[in-house]
Structure 1
Amino acid sequence: MLSLLLLSASCTAGRPAPGPGDAPSATDGPTLAGCSVFPVDHVWNTPVDALPVHPNSAAYIASIGPDTGLHPDFGAGLWEGAPIGIPYNLANAATPRYAFRFDYADESDPGPYPVPATPRIEGGSDRHLIVLDTDTCKLYELFDVDLTGATWSAGSGAVFDLTGYALRPDGWTSADAAGLAILPGLVRYDEVAAGEIRHALRFTASVTQRAYLWPARHYASSATDPNLPPMGLRLRLRADFDTRGFSPEVRVILEALKKYGMILADNGGDGYISGVPDERWDNDTLVSELRRVKVSDFEAVDTVSLMLDPDSGRARQP
C-alpha cells in the first residue's frame, strides 16, 4: 500500500516530478514536493530547546497524565480498513477544483479546493483531507469530508500559503481544533530516514482548556480550569532524556521533540503524536519504544518571546 497519492506526470508539468517527500537541507526548513513547509523562521520550524520552562508546566503535565506513554498515531498497514495516520495528497493546477458545503462556513475558507480523482482521506471520525498544490505551494485542509452524489461537504476547511506567515483570523478554527495547519506537524518517514526532523510535531490531549496560546487561534473545550492544557501549548522533551538505546527511526523523532517540541493541536488520545501513513514504518517498534517515553519526561515551554506579531506565524529566532 502506498502512503501517498502520486499524481501523473501530466499533472506535474513545469515542476520537478515530486517524490514521496523531500528531506530538509542543512540550511533550510522542511520541504515537501518542491515546496517549503512554511519558511524556516516560521514558529512551526523554530527550535525551542533554549527557551524557558512555562511557569505552569508542572500543572499541565499533571493534567495530561505524567505516567502516560507517547503513542504513534501513524504507522504501516490498515486499521479498521483505513491507513494508520493522516495521509496527504499532491495536486497542481490541472487537478479539478470543487466547492464544499461547510458545517462551519463562517470560519471556513470558501475555496474551491483541489481534489484528486481518488483522494486519500483519513479514516475514523475526523476524515481529514489534506491536499498540497505543488504549483502554488498552497495547502488545502478539510475536516470531516464526505461525498454524497456529486456534492462535497466538510465540517470546516482552511487554505494556507506555505510561503508566508499568515495565521487564521483570531477565533477561527481550521481543519484542526487549534486553528492550525495539520501537515506541518506530521511525522513523515522520509524526514526520519534522512536523519533529522526540522519542525515541531502535532499532538493531542483528551481534556483541554477553553483557551489558546499563540500561534493557535481556536479552542474546543468548555473547561475553564487554568491547569488544563490550552491549544497551542508546546511541550519539549527534557534535554537530559537519554535517547540511546532507541531504534534509529524513533531516536530521530525523540531528538526532534527535544529541539522543536510538539504543539497541542486537537482533542484526542493523551500523548498521541500525528504522522503520515507509510508502509516503511515498523509498527511494533514505534509503539513499544514510544510508550517508554512518558509525559513526565516533557516540560511545557514558554514561547512568548518568539512572538513578533500575534497575527503572524513568523517567530523571533532564539
Structure 2
Amino acid sequence: MGGCALFPADSHWYASVADLPVHPSSDDWVAAIGVDATVHPDFGSGSFEGGPIGIPVTLVDDRVPDVAVTFDFADESDPGPYPIPEDALIEGGPDADGDRHVLLVDTDACTLHELYDARPTDGTAWTAGSGAIFDLASNALRPDGWTSADAAGLPILPGLVRFEEVQAGVVDHAIRMTAPRTDRSWIWPARHQAGAADDPTLPPMGAWFRLDPTIDPTDFPAQARPIVVALQTHGAILADNGSAWFISGVPDDRWDNDALRALRDIPGDRFVAVDTAGLLVDPDSGAARGPGSPSGRQSSRLSGASRIETAVAISRAQFPEGADTVYLARADNTVDAVAGGVLTDGPILLVPQCGQLPAVVAEEIARLDPSRVVALGGTGAVCDTILEDARTA
C-alpha cells in the first residue's frame, strides 16, 4: 500500500488455514457467536448515518507534521507522536459516535499508525482511547497484555478487505471479524482481551475461523467471490467485540453493495474454529509457518475465484510494475498456456475462446500497459475479437 508491503510475507495474516485441524472448542465458539447469524460485510459504498461504510485508510508521508496524542489507556499505547493530517479520515465520519478508528500509513517510513476513538482537540493535538504504531517490515507483536487500536491488540489494516484486492480477483489474507461476547482471554496471535465473562464456551480474542470449503464461490456475485475464497483459505480472526460474524473492509464508492449483501446468505454454522498451533513459530512473533512444516517454511495459495482470476493474481504478483508483453491463452483448454510457460517477459492471462473479454482481464491489461498483446494458438484458441479487445483495453 503506497509502495509499502503490509507486513512480511510470512506474517500470520497471509497464512493458509485451509488444512488446519478443527479446534476442540469450535462447536462452543461458533454457537456463542451464532449458528443462525449470518456473515455481514461491514463495509461498502455510499454512506451510513453521515459517514463512509467501513474503516478508511489515510496515506501520509514525511511532509505531514507529527501531532501529539493524549490517550485514555496511555499505559498500553505507543506515545507517538502520530503523523495526522488535518484531513485524516475517521471511521464513521468526523461526527461519528462509534469506534472512530483512524488508520495512517506513512509511505516514506513504511509504518502503520492506528488510533481508537480518535478526536481532534484543536489544530495541533488529538485525544484517543488507545493507539499503536507498527513497523510494516516486522513481525513483532505488541507486548503481551497490551491493546492496540483493536481489542485483540492486533493491527487493523491487514485484516481489512480492500476494493483493489477484489478487483484483482484475490484477497490473500485473513479478514478481521467481530463477535458479540468474548471470553476474558486471548490466544495467539492476539495480545489482549475485552471479554464479557470468564467463560471458555465464549471465543477468546485471536480465535480463528474457517469457512466451509464446500461452498462454491461461483454461486456468488463477482465482488463477493474473492472474499468467500479468502474466508475458506485464510479465514477470519476475531479482533474486537461487535456484531456477530461482521467482517471488516475499507469503504470505496466502487463497491457493489448488492453483491456484498450476498455474503449474508452464509450462516455461522458454515464456519469452524481452527487450531493454529501448527502455525506458531514464536509466541511473541506474528510470523507463521505453513501447516505441518517444522522447518518454518510457509505454505500458502495464490488464487482467485476462477482460473481466469487466478491468472490475473499471478500477473499482479509477478509483474507489479507492468510488462512489455501480455500473452493470452484459452481458459477452458490450457494446453497453450502450459506450452507458453517458458515465456518470461510477460504474464499469460486466460480468456474465453471468443465472446467478451472479462472485465478483470481488461483491467489487468490496462494496469500492465504492454506494448504488444500476443495470442497463444490460432483463432480456434483465441478469436480475433478477444485479441482486438485486449489490444485496446
Q: TM-score, normalised by structure 1?
A: 0.88
Superimposed CA distance per residue, residues 31-72 of structure 1 (whole angstroms, 9 cap, x where no aligned partner): x11111111111111111011111111111111110111111
- Mapped to 1, the partners of 2:7 and 2:207 lie a distance apart of 19
CA deviation after TM superposition for structure 1 residue 117, in Å: 2.5
2:268 to 272, 277, 295: 295
CA deviation after TM superposition for structure 1 residue 149, in Å: 2.5
CA deviation after TM superposition for structure 1 residue 285, in Å: 2.2
Q: Residue type of the partner of 1:195? A: G
Aligned to 2:70: 101
Structure 2: give runs of 5+ residues left out of the alignment: 292-393
State which structure, 1 or 2, has the greater radius of gyration over its C-alpha atoms.
2
Q: What secondary structure does 1:235 align onto?
A: strand
- Mapped to 2, the partners of 1:46 and 1:245 lie a distance apart of 25
Matches within 5 A, 1:1-318: 32-123=1-92, 124=96, 125-150=98-123, 151-287=125-261, 289-318=262-291
Q: What secondary structure does 1:160 align onto?
A: strand
Structure 1: give runs of 5+ residues left out of the alignment: 1-31
Q: What secondary structure does 2:32 align onto?
A: helix
Q: What secondary structure does 1:299 align onto?
A: strand
Superimposed CA distance per residue, residues 249-271 of structure 1 (whole angstroms, 9 cap, x where no aligned partner): 10110001000000000000101
Superimposed CA distance per residue, residues 77-125 of structure 1 (whole angstroms, 9 cap, x where no aligned partner): 1111100000000011111111100000000001110112211110141
- Mapped to 2, the partners of 1:304 and 1:207 lie a distance apart of 23
Contact 2:166 2:227 in 1 (8 A): yes
Contact 2:222 2:259 in 1 (8 A): no
- Mapped to 1, the partners of 2:229 and 2:42 lie a distance apart of 18
- Mapped to 2, the partners of 1:112 and 1:243 lie a distance apart of 44
CA deviation after TM superposition for structure 1 residue 224, in Å: 1.1
Q: Residue type of the partner of 1:260? A: H
CA deviation after TM superposition for structure 1 residue 244, in Å: 2.5
Superimposed CA distance per residue, residues 213-249 of structure 1 (whole angstroms, 9 cap, x where no aligned partner): 1010000014111010100000000111222321111
- Cα RMSD of the aligned pairs, angstroms, is 0.9
Superimposed CA distance per residue, residues 137-176 of structure 1 (whole angstroms, 9 cap, x where no aligned partner): 1000000011122431000000001111110000000000
Determine which structure has greater relative contact order: mean sequence separation of CA pairs < 8 Å that are 6+ residues apart, divided by chain length: 1
Aligned to 2:338: none
Aligned to 1:29: none
CA deviation after TM superposition for structure 1 residue 300, in Å: 0.5
- Mapped to 2, the partners of 1:298 and 1:242 lie a distance apart of 14
Aligned to 1:21: none
- Mapped to 1, the partners of 2:289 and 2:259 lie a distance apart of 36
Q: Residue type of the partner of 1:315? A: A
More deviation, 42-51/143-152: 143-152
Instruction: Give the 4+ runs in structure 1 shifted more than 6 A.
Output: none
Contact 2:141 2:286 in 1 (8 A): yes
Q: TM-score, normalised by structure 2?
A: 0.72
- Mapped to 2, the partners of 1:157 and 1:312 lie a distance apart of 20
Q: Residue type of the partner of 2:158? A: P
Q: What secondary structure does 2:259 align onto?
A: helix
Q: What secondary structure does 1:139 align onto?
A: strand
Q: What secondary structure does 1:59 align onto?
A: helix
